[in-house]
């Protein structure tokens, strides 16, 4: 039953009750007809023997056998009569006609009235007594006298009539067949009517079912003809409206999905800040360009660009300014390139350019032009102006190049050679295979590690001069360094730290500073000299437990207090590594050492660091002291910083002071310390320590 559809259910509900009722009615009337036929046969049999008995009286009394035989034969001629027998008073048959089936016992049986004497499935027999009349009057016209009524007539014989049931059975079969034909004809008419009604009722529903299935399979444009009336018509109209809303919603959702997919695809290939291609898409296009070159296409070139002096912009003005600088410089580079060229931001302040169908000489010219654009560009943020540059590594893509790893490595190495050679210039280098590149002696990782192991990292001293009274007693100096390699120009600490942070070697340089400072403090203590050292640290060291352990071991091994070293790191580091900076400061103060902040005052969150970090001194940002006296806003900000730091017993330090006239202005503002050429030039730390501290 569960597998039947609506049409089948309707047919069952229509046909089954009607068929049962029709069968029951026909059966009832057929059986009634059969019983009526049997009753008619019995009535006919009774009437026949009642008729035959009186007219047989005279023949029996007079002994006219021939007349009795005539009566018997005449009776057999009647329809359905099988046999007729007339017997005398002794039970002996005196007239017989037809095929007799009655037994002798029944023929000799005395009957008092007409009755059915025998019956089986083929025939039935009726019998009646033949009585002697008591008078000669006609029973129809002359009534009997009272005496005659009381007398019992004498039975002088019997008549028997047998009826054949074949005719009755035939009539019964005819009746039954007619009944069955009526039922069949009625059921056919009823089935036709039921099918028409079921189809009329099921078709709208089936149309709805098909439309629902089509919608479930994704055909949201499916509709049903709204041609029905009543509740079905309401359902059809409602379904069409619902389907219309679903199709509109699907189209809207599909449009949003396509838009989101396109946006995700764009974001997957582009840099979110500048809108340029990202490194992944750049490498894909570089791979295609290399395949084209190896297949016989025109040569291409790769430009690997690293911006110069980008970090001071971030340090002085924050990352919002750095982001804006990257956006502007991206537009500047794009304006110089052709449509077929590819410009991408590879990360940080690094950019990559694929010059399509470009010879090496032409690529060199384009790189020089970009280098000149970067050098002439000035970035303005609020009241500050910054000059930047671009160090560019140039590598040609030719058939000798095997994969993009060689190209990228060569471009990266050429870019760093440009930085080492003085920045803002173009250096060209041929792509090397991986093995040759790893053996290259000018790699930063090997150079820094070699410099530390061979003591070629020279530590310099930048003395600090007190500008106020009641300051720290003894000598105050800041440590810096430069890398000196035979036959090459010295590399400054800022350039060195940029490379060291790339190769995770900055903590090793920081540890070198810590060790140098503690050794100097130990030497000063042995001579009872008071010395304070500003020790610069990179952001990478704030999360390194090794730095804290190194300070603790150094202080314990030399048995000196921790008030001599002042570990100083950039305010920008504390902004982006706040939790690490706070935890590092807590651990340093637990050792008795002090904390300092570099480039203080250049960001918007400077004053919040005074409470969270708790420094003992701050080095003021050069953006505040560069225009000392010429910029009223900078002067007012310096005065406010000095008042806040003095209120919290924090020493302020002005760096890069090269004019003697600035000393008096700093004193008037209350700045505590100054450093720069106007105070004392930098010199090797060992020389300064020997002359200014140990021999003084």
- Cβ proximity of 655 and 536 under 8 Å: no
Question: At a CB cut-off of 8 Å and minimum separation 6, what does 65 contact?
Answer: 59, 94, 95
Q: Beta-carbon neighbour count of residue 203 at 10 Å?
A: 15
* DSSP strand pairing (565-570 vs 457-463): unpaired
Question: Percent of the chain, pLDDT > 90?
Answer: 19
With b for 16 or more beta-carbon neighbours within 10 A and e for fewer, the 437-476 pattern comes to: beeeeebbeebbeebbeeeebebbbbbbeebeeeebeebb
Backbone angles phi, psi at 569, to 5 degrees: -135, 165
pLDDT in tens, 503-538: 778 888 999 999 999 999 999 999 998 999 999 998
pLDDT in tens, 325-340: 999 999 999 988 998 9
pLDDT band at 146 (very low <50, low <70, confident <90, very high): low
Is 80 exceeded by the pLDDT of residue 501? no
Q: When comparing pLDDT for 434 and 394, which is higher?
A: 394
DSSP 541: G
* DSSP strand pairing (673-674 vs 651-654): parallel
pLDDT of residue 575: 64
Give the chain's mean pLDDT: 83
Q: Is 72 helix (H, G, I), strand (E, B) or coil?
A: helix
| Angle of the 661-669 helix axis to the 632-647 helix axis, nearest 10 | 50
pLDDT in tens, 269-286: 888 888 899 988 999 999
- Report how far residue 508's alpha carbon sits from residue 453's, in angstroms, rounded to the nearest whole number: 11
Is 50 exceeded by the pLDDT of residue 253? yes
- Report how far residue 392's alpha carbon sits from residue 336's, in angstroms, rounded to the nearest whole number: 15
pLDDT of residue 532: 93
Is 70 exceeded by the pLDDT of residue 212? yes
Domains and CATH numbers, the chain: 6-134+151-171 (3.30.450.20), 279-442 (3.30.70.270), 451-694 (3.20.20.450)
pLDDT of residue 470: 80
How much is the average pLDDT of 492-510?
79
- Report how far residue 335's alpha carbon sits from residue 344's, in angstroms, rounded to the nearest whole number: 14
Q: For the residues of 306-361, what is the DSSP string, one character each? A: EEES-HHHHHHH-HHHHHHHHHHHHHHHHTTS-TTSEEEEEETTEEEEEETT--HH
Give me 79's structure tokens.
């329809």
Distance of alpha carbon 134 from the chain centroid: 119
pLDDT of residue 152: 67
pLDDT of residue 341: 92
Is 60 exceeded by the pLDDT of residue 1? no
Is 60 exceeded by the pLDDT of residue 438? no
- Cβ proximity of 399 and 293 under 8 Å: yes
Identify the bridge partners of residue 344 per DSSP, sorted by sequence position: 277, 352
pLDDT in tens, 19-31: 788 778 777 777 7
How much is the average pLDDT of 655-671?
87
Q: Which residue has the tokens 């083929």?
A: 122
Is 50 exceeded by the pLDDT of residue 676? yes
- Report how far residue 587's alpha carbon sits from residue 551's, in angstroms, rounded to the nearest whole number: 11
pLDDT of residue 611: 79
pLDDT of residue 675: 92
pLDDT in tens, 392-402: 999 988 888 87
Is 50 exceeded by the pLDDT of residue 11? yes
Question: At a CB cut-off of 8 Å and minimum separation 6, what does 347 contact?
Answer: 279
Q: Beta-carbon neighbour count of residue 317 at 10 Å?
A: 22
pLDDT of residue 534: 93
Angle at 505 between CA 682 and CA 464, to 5 degrees: 20
How much is the average pLDDT of 377-405?
86
- The C-alpha R_g of the chain, in whole angstroms, comes to 64
How much is the average pLDDT of 640-662?
88
pLDDT of residue 129: 92
* DSSP strand pairing (115-119 vs 342-347): unpaired
Identify the bridge partners of residue 123 per DSSP, sorted by sequence position: 164
pLDDT of residue 433: 47
- Report how far residue 498's alpha carbon sits from residue 523's, in angstroms, rounded to the nearest whole number: 32
- Cβ proximity of 293 and 402 under 8 Å: no
Q: In 421-542, which residue ranges form alpha helices assigned H by DSSP?
A: 434-438, 444-453, 493-502, 506-526
How much is the average pLDDT of 339-349?
90
- Cβ proximity of 652 and 642 under 8 Å: yes
Give me 670's structure tokens.
């209350």
- Cβ proximity of 405 and 432 under 8 Å: no
pLDDT of residue 148: 52
Q: Which residue has the tokens 């009517």?
A: 193
- Report how far residue 559's alpha carbon sits from residue 180's, in angstroms, rounded to the nearest whole number: 127
pLDDT in tens, 527-577: 998 999 999 998 888 878 888 998 999 999 999 988 889 999 887 677 667
pLDDT of residue 5: 64
Q: Beta-carbon neighbour count of residue 171 at 10 Å?
A: 16
Helices and strands of the chain, counted as H and E runs = 23, 23
pLDDT of residue 141: 46
pLDDT of residue 480: 92
Is 50 exceeded by the pLDDT of residue 681? yes
pLDDT band at 652 (very low <50, low <70, confident <90, very high): very high
pLDDT of residue 522: 93
Secondary element (H or E) of residue 481: strand 475-483
Give me 505's structure tokens.
């070697």
Give me 435's structure tokens.
């093995």
pLDDT of residue 137: 46
Q: Is 116 helix (H, G, I), strand (E, B) or coil?
A: strand
Is 60 exceeded by the pLDDT of residue 138? no
- Report how far residue 420's alpha carbon sits from residue 426's, in angstroms, rounded to the nearest whole number: 11
Give me 145's structure tokens.
């006298």
pLDDT in tens, 289-323: 888 888 888 889 999 999 988 888 887 788 899 99
- Report how far residue 187's alpha carbon sits from residue 194's, in angstroms, rounded to the nearest whole number: 10
Give me 59's structure tokens.
């023949």
Angle at 349 between CA 343 and CA 354, to 5 degrees: 20
Q: When comparing pLDDT for 360 and 170, which is higher?
A: 360
How much is the average pLDDT of 602-614?
69
**pTM assigned to the model:** 0.46
């Amino acid at each position: 039953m569960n597998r039947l559809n609506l049409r089948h259910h309707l047919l069952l509900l229509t046909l089954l009750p009607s068929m049962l009722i029709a069968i029951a009615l026909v059966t009832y009337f057929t059986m009634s007809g059969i019983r009526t036929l049997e009753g008619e046969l019995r009535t006919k049999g009774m009437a026949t023997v009642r008729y035959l008995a009186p007219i047989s009286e005279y023949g029996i009394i007079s002994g006219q056998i021939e007349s009795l035989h005539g009566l018997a034969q005449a009776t057999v001629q009647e329809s359905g009569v099988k046999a007729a027998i007339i017997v005398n008073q002794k039970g002996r048959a005196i007239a017989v006609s037809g095929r007799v089936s009655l037994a002798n016992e029944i023929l000799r049986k005395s009957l008092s009235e007409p009755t059915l004497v025998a019956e089986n499935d083929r025939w039935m027999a009726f019998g009646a007594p033949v009585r002697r009349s008591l008078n000669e009057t006609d029973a129809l016209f002359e009534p009997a006298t009272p005496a005659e009524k009381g007398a019992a007539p004498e039975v002088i014989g019997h008549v028997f009539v047998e009826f054949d049931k074949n005719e009755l059975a035939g009539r019964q079969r005819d009746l039954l067949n007619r009944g069955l034909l009526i039922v069949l004809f009625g059921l056919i008419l009823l089935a036709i009517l039921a099918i028409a009604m079921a189809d009329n009722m099921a078709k709208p529903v089936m149309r709805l079912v098909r439309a629902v299935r089509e919608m479930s399979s994704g055909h949201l444009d499916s509709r049903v003809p709204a041609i029905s009336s009543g509740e079905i018509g309401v359902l059809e109209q409602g379904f069409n409206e619902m389907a219309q809303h679903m199709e509109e919603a699907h189209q809207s959702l599909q449009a949003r999905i396509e838009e989101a997919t396109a946006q995700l695809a764009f974001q997957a290939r582009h840099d979110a800040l500048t809108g340029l291609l990202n490194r992944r898409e750049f490498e894909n296009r570089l791979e295609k360009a290399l395949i084209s070159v190896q297949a016989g296409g025109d040569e291409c070139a790769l430009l690997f660009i690293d911006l110069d002096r980008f970090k001071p912009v971030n340090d002085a003005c924050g990352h919002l300014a750095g982001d804006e600088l990257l956006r502007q410089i991206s537009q500047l580079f794009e304006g110089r390139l052709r449509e077929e060229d590819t410009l991408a931001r590879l990360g940080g302040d690094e950019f990559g350019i694929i010059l399509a169908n470009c010879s090496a000489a032409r690529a060199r010219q384009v790189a020089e032009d970009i280098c000149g654009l970067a050098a002439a560009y000035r970035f303005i943020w609020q009241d500050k102006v910054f000059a930047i540059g671009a160090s560019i590594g140039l590598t040609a893509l030719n058939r000798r190049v095997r994969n993009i790893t060689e190209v990228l490595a060569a471009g990266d190495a050429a870019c760093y050679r440009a930085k080492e050679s003085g920045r803002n210039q173009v250096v060209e280098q041929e792509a090397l295979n991986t093995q040759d590149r790893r053996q290259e002696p000018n790699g930063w990782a090997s150079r820094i590690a070699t410099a530390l192991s061979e003591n070629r990292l020279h530590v310099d001293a930048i003395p600090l001069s007190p500008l106020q009274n009641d300051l720290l007693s003894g000598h105050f100096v800041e440590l810096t360094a430069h890398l000196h390699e035979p036959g090459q120009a010295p590399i400054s600490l800022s350039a060195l730290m940029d490379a060291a942070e790339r190769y995770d070697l900055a903590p090793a340089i920081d540890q070198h500073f810590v060790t140098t400072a503690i050794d100097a403090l130990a030497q000063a203590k042995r001579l009872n000299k008071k010395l304070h050292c500003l020790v610069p640290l990179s952001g990478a060291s704030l999360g390194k437990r090794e730095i804290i352990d190194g300070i603790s071991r150094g202080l314990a091994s030399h048995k000196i207090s921790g008030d001599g070293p002042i570990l100083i790191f950039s305010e920008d580091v504390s902004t982006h590594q706040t939790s690490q900076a706070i935890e590092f400061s807590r651990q340093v103060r637990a050792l008795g050492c002090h904390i300092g902040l570099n480039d203080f005052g250049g960001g918007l969150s400077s004053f919040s660091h005074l409470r969270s970090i708790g420094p003992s001194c701050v080095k003021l940002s050069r953006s505040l002291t560069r225009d000392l006296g010429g910029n009223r806003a900078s002067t007012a900000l310096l005065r406010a910083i000095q008042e806040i730091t003095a209120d919290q017993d924090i020493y302020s330090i002005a760096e890069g002071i090269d004019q003697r006239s600035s000393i008096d202005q700093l004193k008037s503002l209350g700045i505590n310390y100054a450093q720069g050429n106007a105070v004392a030039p930098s010199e090797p730390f060992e020389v300064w320590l020997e002359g200014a501290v140990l021999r003084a």
